[in-house]
Amino acid sequence: MSDLPLTKNINGKTPTDLTQYEATGGYVATRQAVGAMDPDALLEIIKDSNLRGRGGAGFPTGMKWSFVPKPGSRAAGEGHRYLVANADEMEPGTFKDRLLMEQDPHQLIEGMILAAYTISADIGYIFIRHEYHVAIARLREALAAAEASNYLGAHICGSDFSFRLHVHVSAGRYICGEETALLNALEGKRAIPRAKPPFPQVSGLWGRPTIVNNVETLCNIPHIVAHGADWFRSLGRGKDSGTKLFGASGRVARPGCWELPMGTPIREILEEQAGGMAAGYQLKGFLPGGASTDFLLPEHLDLPMDYEPVMQAGSRMGTGTMIILDDRSCPLGMIANLEKFFARESCGFCTPCREGLAWVQQILDSMEAGAGRPEDLRLLEDQAEFIGAIGNTHCAHAPGAIEPLASGLKYFADDFKAHIDGKGCPYKQGAN
């Protein structure tokens, strides 16, 4: 059991037991805030906490909420207002939200109640990928318990505020990580990102004001409301506030997911939490925040896991879940596998993404098979430059997808050249 807020109840209680959740401070913030605090005051607390979105982009949560038109204003219009938890979590190498939903579903529910109260939303959805069978069952069980205790439904805790929350099981597409594609899917349409503006905060689900937040982001809300913005800021070890679920997968001694202060050095996560590299393997590189981030090298291990330092090093913190590349695994093979995933998951709306990613995959596969040509390197570099430029595609799927390739060409150029000169993968040939 952890002393840090997000994981303090994990392994210490039955996940869906409402009484046990209440015994550790659960729903205290709801009882204190709903009907008793002004929503604008709650919004200021979230702003002051400097909570940044934990889904990858890191946009300030309070600022995002502030874009929702005030109830009764001309911009708000009339009708429902929505809150959506993005629980689709299809970023390769990322499994943090699954941990939170399976082990402490009431925490997410309470976070959504408080968020909905702040933005005056009356309907909420947990948009979750269909493979998360355990999380779906536990969320539904916890929702029923919360409704029975009047934490959800009409006149929550005797107040004038009503909020109904539903679990929506998604068909599962990576593109639904883009919030407007998620909203289209939730409406029963094809999951294609929308043109912006208008932004969802003004015109989202069914044309109504909508906020979409990541699961981990929402799970922080009850703790911030209960303990205050200053407390939350004090948890971080650097510029960014709070804690973060960091993870590591690949050939490390102890793959897993751990809650640590923001700003924890990468070396500490890898060596102390993950136990270092597995016996017989050395670190060659790593993707710091899931598959759609740029590679970093062993020389970057002392960077703090904060948004700006990782960005200054040429990558992104993303979801904070590292994918490790060891010295006995082929970088080109790893990149080819990722590009195959991204090409398959393209919504197909725009040509650079639909055709470009598939072309990249084809070139990489031919190099792995021994049919690579010297000119292929230039083709890959051109594709990485064009596809990676923000504005050349309809959304950020393709630029994110190309980051492993662009950084791989930079850091592992000798491995790419060896595939061409040796007519195949040197790792498979036993050269390493």
Per residue in 116-145, pLDDT (tens digit) is 999 999 999 999 999 999 999 999 999 999
Measuring CA to CA, which residue among 325, 381, 403, 388 is closest to residue 352?
388
- Using a 10 angstrom Cβ sphere, with 0-12 exposed, 13-18 middle and 19 or more buried, the burial of residue 110 is buried
pLDDT at 430: 59
Q: Please give the distance of CA 191 from its chain centroid, rounded to a whole number.
A: 18
Measuring CA to CA, which residue among 1, 2, 4 is closest to residue 234?
4
pLDDT at 11 over 90: no
Residues 209-223: pLDDT tens digits? Answer: 999 999 999 999 999
Half-sphere exposure of 312 (CA within 13 A, CB side): 7
Tokens of 252: 């490390």
Measuring CA to CA, which residue among 320, 129, 113 is closest to residue 218?
113
Distance set, CA 136 to CA 101, 141, 168, 170, 258 (Å):
8, 9, 9, 11, 22
Distance set, CA 18 to CA 24, 138, 225, 252 (Å):
10, 12, 19, 36
Q: Strand, helix or coil at 54?
A: coil
Q: Which domains does the chain have, with CATH numbers?
A: 5-234 (3.40.50.11540), 243-326 (3.10.20.600), 331-421 (1.20.1440.230)
pLDDT at 212: 97
Provide long-range contacts, Cβ within 8 A and 24+ apart, for 36-43: 36/159, 39/117, 39/118, 39/119, 39/120, 42/114, 42/117, 42/118, 42/225, 43/118, 43/119
| Confidence bin at 2 (pLDDT 50/70/90) | low
Q: What is the CA radius of gyration of the chain?
A: 22
pLDDT at 9: 86
Distance set, CA 402 to CA 237, 300, 343, 407 (Å):
31, 21, 10, 9
pLDDT at 194 over 70: yes
Euclidean distance between the first and the last CA atom of the chain, given in angstroms as a whole number: 41
Residues 329-379: pLDDT tens digits? Answer: 999 999 999 999 999 999 999 999 999 999 999 999 999 999 999 999 999
pLDDT at 77: 76
Helix-helix angle 397-411:374-387, to 10 degrees: 140
**Contacting residues for 180 by C-beta, under 8 A, at least 6 apart:** 193, 194, 196, 200, 204
Q: What integer is the mean pLDDT of 282-292? A: 96
Q: Strand, helix or coil at 72?
A: coil
Residues in the chain, total: 432
Which residues sit opposite 39 in a β-bridge?
none
243-249 vs 256-261, strand pairing mode: antiparallel
Largest CA distance in the chain: 73
Measuring CA to CA, which residue among 242, 201, 255, 197 is closest to residue 58?
242
